[in-house]
A = this chain, B = another copy of it.
Amino acid sequence: MTGQEGTSTQPGHPRVTAHRRGDLFDPDCPTRQLLDRVGSKWTTMAVLVLAGEEGEVRFAELRRRMAGVSQKMLTQTLRSLERDGLLTRRVEPTTPPRVHYGLTRRGRSLAGPLTVLKEWAETNMAAVDDHGRRWDESAAAG
């Protein structure tokens, strides 16, 4: 199933890749980078905050809700999401300027998967943390 079409050198139309499905287990497939981006802490939080609102959220509000994020990391995260076509950025040309962020349709489609992952993490955090603690103790002892 994996490498039977992509590596062909046939001319065809340009941008054939746009129709192809990704394959996480193909080392040359960008799906890997994409997964690393969307699975990250700040991306998850940003998408989930924005998914909670039906409208848009301003920069400062976003920053407040994602407690602990630095201004730099928030900007980077939002830029990355915008570049990937997952969120929109709308600037109100006032002074001071107001910038509003909202999810695109595709961005909203990511909220489901991330919610599932977040819930898993929240549900299992305590047990995992506990297990790790015991692990460290027995490692230090033995």
Contacts of A22 in B (CB 8 A): 121-126
Interface size for A (C-beta < 8 A) is 60
Contacts of A29 in B (CB 8 A): 125
Does A121 lie within 8 Å of B85, measured CB to CB? no
> Given A21-B122, A25-B67, A35-B41 in contact, is the A85-B127 Cβ separation under 8 Å?
yes
Does B109 lie within 8 Å of A34, measured CB to CB? no
A63 at the interface (CB under 8 A from B): no
A72 at the interface (CB under 8 A from B): no
Task: Name the distance in Å between A49's Cβ and chain B's nearest Cβ.
Answer: 8
Question: How far, in whole Å, are A130 and B18 apart by their CA atoms in the complex?
Answer: 7
From B18, B24, B117, A45 is in contact (CB under 8 Å) with: B24
